[in-house]
Amino acid sequence: MNIHTPPMPNDLEAYWMPFTPNRAFKKNPRMFVAAEGMYYTTDNGSKVMDGIAGLWCCNAGHKRPRIVKAVQQQVEQMDYCPAFQIGHSKAFELANRLTGLLPDNLNHAFFVNSGSESAETALKIAIAYHRCRGEGHRTRLIGREKGYHGVNFGGMAVGGMTANRKMFGSLVSGVDHLRHTHGIEANRFSKGQPEHGVEFADDLERLCELHDPSTIAAVIVEPVAASAGVIMPPKGYLERLREITKKHGILLIWDEVVTGFGRMGKPFATEYFGIEPDILCSAKAIANGVIPMGATFVQDHVYDAFMQGPEGAIELFHGYTYSANPMACAAALATLDTHEEEGLFTRGTELWSYWEDAVHSLKGLPHVVDIRNMGLIGAVELESIPGAVTKRATEAFLKAYEKGLLIRTTGDIIAFSPPLIIEKSHIDFMFETMRDVLKTID
């Protein structure tokens, strides 16, 4: 075996970047070297406003002193603790703090390291739960078209984004999908929840008739479908799904990896919508993006179903080496403190109207065919060029970056989800910049 000559430290070829056109990026890289507050700093010293909270995860902004200090102190005290058969106090403290933000029955947290792992954990718990109850025939999982639940095999299977699925074979068997609620003509330019589309929830009844509800373990949905392009739930839609799942004894899993931790003006979307799922997925903003972490929360009846065997037996053969990592727990606890001290859980409510008006101010600009918003989330959908889907949004992304603004695109949809520390002056800059950008794209 020949050992090749080590590349230079700044050689870009060794790193295979995720969800990135690697060849195009490496010809013209965009590199950040620092971050603080609302801004990144590039390798040439320019400031770029963070219009997407990193990747929906830095809700408290960047380089927050309390979080930095907590991680520094934790690494000096204890950098790692085994996740199996051993515990540490911050894991239990964090679980109690987090469940205290959720409805009364979601009292148990299983710690993971990402949104993908949170969704995968939820799906495994759902299937195992029914087996614990003597209904092992309930193994079918129902996702939704345009849904995103991470990139592990289970999450991809229940997800419904074609590009994420098409390269990877048959994925997981026994999965079906609800129709999505996007593209309803009457909902264009809705502010908040759109009026039309509640009937799409009845698609679940159709699938129950097709498969027999006694075979279905769980339905998983995002309250707001983020990665597919910020698709808002029609009024009454989520309530109807909850009604149908209860009727048939099917677990309802909410994927709040994006909507959790203040994005909707509440700690979680379950409180905003007033609907309590059986299982809730979280990640991203749980530790403000500082260290990978997530949590899967379950209702008491789910947890209790596993606690019936011999006391010395392992109840769930599942977990990760880095579950409840001490440094991640320290970062998450400091993130909660920061949110509470600065009122970030409700910041979206305070800015909602100003944000909404700013997002919708882009109506009427070239190629804009829809605008959507809820909480501190917004989306502008552009008309796609035939045969060149993504081209317009990609051009907008690059031009916005050149003007000092980081946005997110999926297909020809531009998404906005800024840190919750955003001020009105930041909102003005974001949408003045986007107005200039959209006037110049082809």
**Residue 85 CB partners (closer than 8 Å, separation 6+):** none
Mean pLDDT of 406-433: 98
Q: CATH for 69-342, among 3.40.50.720, 1.10.10.10, 3.40.1350.10, 3.40.640.10? A: 3.40.640.10
**What is the distance between the alpha carbons of residues 114 and 378, in angstroms, rounded to a whole number?**
23
Could you tell me which CATH class the domain 22-63+344-438 is placed in? Answer: alpha beta
Q: Residue 6: pLDDT above 80?
A: no
- Residue 412 has a pLDDT of 97
pLDDT at 8: 66
Strand ranges (DSSP E) for 359-430? Answer: 368-374, 377-382, 405-406, 408-410, 413-416
20, two tokens: 């990135």
Say how many C-beta atoms besides its own lie within 10 A of residue 206's C-beta. 12
In this predicted structure, what is the pLDDT of residue 442? 87
Burial class (CB in 10 A: 0-12, 13-18, 19+), 387: exposed
Every domain of the chain and the residues it spans: 22-63+344-438, 69-342
Q: What is the pLDDT of residue 2?
A: 66
Q: What 3-state DSSP class applies to 79? A: coil
pLDDT at residue 411 tops 70: yes
Q: Supply the pLDDT for residue 295.
A: 98
pLDDT tens string 210-222: 999 999 999 999 9
pLDDT greater than 70 at residue 382:
yes
Q: Is residue 255 within 8 Å of residue 119, measured between CB atoms?
A: yes
* Percent of the chain predicted with pLDDT > 70: 98
Q: Is the pLDDT of residue 410 over 80?
A: yes
**Residue 4, pLDDT above cutoff 90:** no
- On whether the CB atoms of residues 318 and 124 are closer than 8 A, the answer is yes
In this structure, the chain runs to a length of 442
pLDDT tens string 311-341: 999 999 999 999 999 999 999 999 999 999 9
